[in-house]
Amino acid sequence: MSTRAAELAEQFEDVAQQREASTLGMWVFLATEVMFFGALFLAFSVTRSLHVESFSQAAKHLDILAGTINTAVLFTSSFTTALAVSALQQGQLKRVIGLLSVSIVLGGLFLAIKGHEYHEKWVEGFFPGNAFAVSGPAGNEVELFFLFYFILTGLHGIHLLIALGVTAVLVWLIVTNRVTPTRSMPLEASALYWHFVDIVWVFVFPLLYLIGGR
Amino acid sequence: MSVLLYSSDTDEPRERDSYLTPHTLRSWLLTTDHKRVGLLYLFTIIVFFVIAAVAAGIMRLNLLTPRGDLVQAETYNRLFTLHGVLMVWFFLIPSIPSVLGNFLLPLMIGARDLAFPKLNLLSWYIFILGGAFAFYALLIGGVDTGWTFYTPYSSTYSNSNVVLMAAGIFIAGFSSILTGLNFIVSIHQMRAPGLTWFRLRLFVWSMYATSLILVLATPVLAITLCLMALERIWRVGIFDPSLGGDPLLFQHLFWFYSHPAVYIMILPGMGVVSELIAAFARKRVFGYTFVAFSSLAIALIGFLVWGHHMFVSSQSVFAGMIFSFLSFLVAVPSAIKVFNWTATLYKGSISLDTPMLYALGFIGLFTVGGMTGLILAALAVDVHVHDTYFVIAHFHYIMVGGMVTAFMGGLHFWWPKITGRMYPELLGKLAAIIIFIGFNLTFFPQFVLGYLGMPRRYHAYPEQFQVYNVLSTAGASILGIGYLLPLLYLLWSCFYGRRVAENPWNALGFEWETASPPPVHNFEKAPIQRDEAYNYAEVASTPGAGLS
């Protein structure tokens, strides 16, 4: 037992096993997340198929420029996260911390732009509820669209917020030398999660902003 | 040797190394030992089982008379909702996976623990938190929607604590997901040397299939309940047709989870029964690979049959036909299992110890439950018996006759491993027989009731149905005694039961090669699998040969 590496948890035989278990665990977790968002996409698609016309009209109220900028911002953050993982494996710790900080800033920028969009929609009266801007039967349908808009982007935002928090913790762990080039698994797992949040946006963005004959 | 180690009552060398010491509350609440987490789950689900069983008892008493003299209709609605919610999410789903699975899975694959022991403990705390929400919702008046939470009743009209209860189920779902995730990763990564996939125990295979469902279906329920609760709080209309929503969408999403969830409530039982049949017939399981793959097939096809809950819900007839066909298809792997169990019994040297009585009971009751499921999967017949007691009887034969019976069988079989002590065999057999009789008397009359047209979820009924309801209530009292007995004698045996050695049943498997109760890290010496899982031809021909 004296030969066991310090980072090896007692239930595992060796470091390779521990590493593979963490990776598989993260993938299985992401599978649950896929089903979580998948059900929501399904609900949106079914409702959209019931009210094609109203949903197309409603989509025109979204700020496509803000959405496009956000898409670019989020993709870039995924890129810097991926670079951070390979930098850690090569032992360039300063570079890792720099890249992760860029990811965090970009993630924050995404949320700020999203917040700006939310504010606009709130002011324009597109927040579902009694004071909704459009009334009548078509109003109900537009309201449904915006309900899905806030649920989808809101859940995505919560996931991004969690990813930001996890990445901030990882920066701390790298600074305090608890995540190292030989123990890079925590960063790899959190990077997987970051990319997943990115991929969800790849579906959210076209579903909400792009479909509908712009 | 084991006789020397285990015969004296005090101060045994092994006792001090067992996972059951130390005895402090703190050591239990902060444990990451999979065996202890399994027991924490056991204590918790027994509490929920008792509450839900009492609710069922009150319902049965109420149904003694046609006018339903005991409780009002409103109370009755809350009782069946409470019974359904607690039994499904807080007893059946965690029963075998979280109790026996947690305890046995690492032992069976020869590992020191699950891959993520802290997550495992966390899953129990999440379960407790979800249970607390459900319990609170119950204390302040309960919920009247039925366990299915159909919209728009649940989201718009019900005046009960729907959101609280949904929150409880939502939270408990995460504990299911964590358990499933832990099992999948452990089975993939933590197997002992020599333990290839096709040397795995069939219980492990069934846990693997169950975990796939837990991980892939539970998130869909989570989002569905979220949407329903949002609609209720926010007064919007995702599922409300008057606001542009689609009520059928809720049913589709709900059953996309809840039908696979039915298999969460039977696959683990099938795994247990495969173990019991092999150990008490002293034979290798007939058609091992078929039994293993049929678990996966059930998990897979189980995801494609949810529409058979919606035959009368204005779903298209064409969709109905496809769902009907797929529902017949999912019966095939179940039938393969039943066939293989009986073929394993054939020319086996069978001994009728308590666990085996439960296993044989399971085969019979599950077969009745499964066959009546086929009747319900036939489109035209379903129109006649939909939402009647026929459905109630059918799924109780699967869930109680199947899953609970298997749980009891497994609990008795592994009890000496869990506690290091044997339960009283005579009382065990007696309880198994009482449960079998009580169960059939409770639920068989309900098939007749349903076929005659008595709808479910009513607190009163026309007088001509009374005789069957009286029979059913009589059966329920017998069943109640049947479940009370093990509760008492198992508790008794924890302190006064006869001590046992490693392998009281002379059964095969890693868990029987270590001490009873096992040491904290499961094995003194890392186990190696050198043979197929059920090579009973090479061990002594009677169970019990290893009794001290």
Residues of A in contact with B120 (CB under 8 A): none
Dihedral angle sign, alpha carbons of residues B328, B330, B336, B342: negative
Question: In this complex, is the C-beta atom of B188 within 8 Å of any C-beta atom belonging to chain A?
Answer: yes
pLDDT score recorded for residue B5: 41
Domain-embedded: residue B547: no
Per-residue pLDDT at B4 exceeds 60: no
Residues B23-28, mean pLDDT to the nearest whole number: 92
| Mean of all residue pLDDT scores within chain B | 93
B/e letters for B236-272, b = 16+ CB within 10 Å, e = fewer, are bbbbbeebbbbbbbbbbbbbbbbbbbbbbbbbbbbbb
In which band, very low, low, confident or very high, does the pLDDT at B540 lie, cut at 50, 70 and 90? low
| Nearest Cβ partner for A47 among B115, B223, B245 | B245
Domain count, chain B: 1
Residues B402-406, mean pLDDT to the nearest whole number: 97
Return the ∠ at Cα B30 (arms to B24 and B32), rounded to 5°: 115
Residues B495-512, mean pLDDT to the nearest whole number: 94
B511 alpha-carbon distance from chain centroid:
21
Residues A61-81, mean pLDDT to the nearest whole number: 96
Domain-embedded: residue B529: yes
Residues A104-121, mean pLDDT to the nearest whole number: 97
pLDDT in tens, B449-480: 999 999 999 999 999 999 999 999 999 999 99
Question: In this complex, is the C-beta atom of B228 within 8 Å of any C-beta atom belonging to chain A?
Answer: no
Per-residue pLDDT at B2 exceeds 80: no
pLDDT in tens, B323-360: 999 999 999 999 999 999 999 999 999 999 999 999 99
Residues of B in contact with A25 (CB under 8 A): 115-116, 181-182, 185
pLDDT in tens, B186-229: 999 999 999 999 999 999 999 999 999 999 999 999 999 999 99
DSSP state of B524: S
Say which residue, B29 or B543, is predicted with more confidence: B29
| Nearest Cβ partner for A141 among B113, B177, B244 | B244
pLDDT in tens, A114-147: 999 999 999 999 998 878 888 877 888 999 999 9
| Mean of all residue pLDDT scores within chain A | 92
pLDDT in tens, B252-267: 999 999 999 999 999 9
DSSP secondary structure string for all residues of B224-267: HHHHHHHHHHHT--SS-GGGT--HHHHHHHHHHHHHHHHHHTTH
In which band, very low, low, confident or very high, does the pLDDT at B15 lie, cut at 50, 70 and 90? low
B190 contacts A144? CB cut-off 8 A: no
Per-residue pLDDT at B11 exceeds 90: no
Share of chain B above pLDDT 90, in %: 89
Is domain A15-210 annotated with CATH 1.20.120.80?
A: yes
CATH value at residue B79: 1.20.210.10
In which band, very low, low, confident or very high, does the pLDDT at B16 lie, cut at 50, 70 and 90? low
Contact B258, B148 (CB under 8 A): yes
Separation of alpha carbons B204 and B264, rounded Å:
14
A47 contacts B244? CB cut-off 8 A: yes
Q: 0.90 exceeded by the pTM?
A: yes
Per-residue pLDDT at B548 exceeds 60: no
Domain-embedded: residue B548: no
E strand or H helix at B389, and its extent? helix B389-396
Share of chain A above pLDDT 70, in %: 96
Per-residue pLDDT at A3 exceeds 90: no
Separation of alpha carbons B345 and A55, rounded Å:
61
Q: Which two tokens stand for residue B121?
A: 């403990």
Q: Return residues 10-39 of A near B (CB < 8 Å).
A: 10-12, 17, 20-21, 24-25, 28-29, 31-33, 35-39
Contact B384, B424 (CB under 8 A): no
Domain-embedded: residue B546: no
What is the least distance, in Å, from the CA of A18 to any CA of chain B? 8
Per-residue pLDDT at B8 exceeds 60: no
> Where do the domains of chain A lie?
15-210
**Which of A21-35, A59-73, A128-142, B270-284 is least confident?**
A128-142
Share of chain B above pLDDT 70, in %: 95
pLDDT score recorded for residue B54: 97
Distances (CA, A) of B207 to A77, B183, B292: 39, 7, 11
| Nearest Cβ partner for B253 among A9, A39, A143 | A39
Q: Which domain holds residue B25?
A: 2-538
Residues B82-101, mean pLDDT to the nearest whole number: 97
Residues of A in contact with B224 (CB under 8 A): 39
Separation of alpha carbons A67 and A32, rounded Å:
26
Domain-embedded: residue B545: no
pLDDT score recorded for residue B14: 55
| Nearest Cβ partner for B227 among A11, A33, A43 | A43
Say which residue, B291 or B241, is predicted with more confidence: B291
Domain-embedded: residue B227: yes
Contacts of A201 (CB under 8 A, 6+ apart): A70, A71, A74, A156
Per-residue pLDDT at B494 exceeds 60: yes
pLDDT score recorded for residue A193: 97
The ipTM is 0.93
DSSP secondary structure string for all residues of B22-54: S--HHHHHT---HHHHHHHHHHHHHHHHHHHHH
pLDDT in tens, A72-99: 999 999 999 999 999 999 999 999 999 9
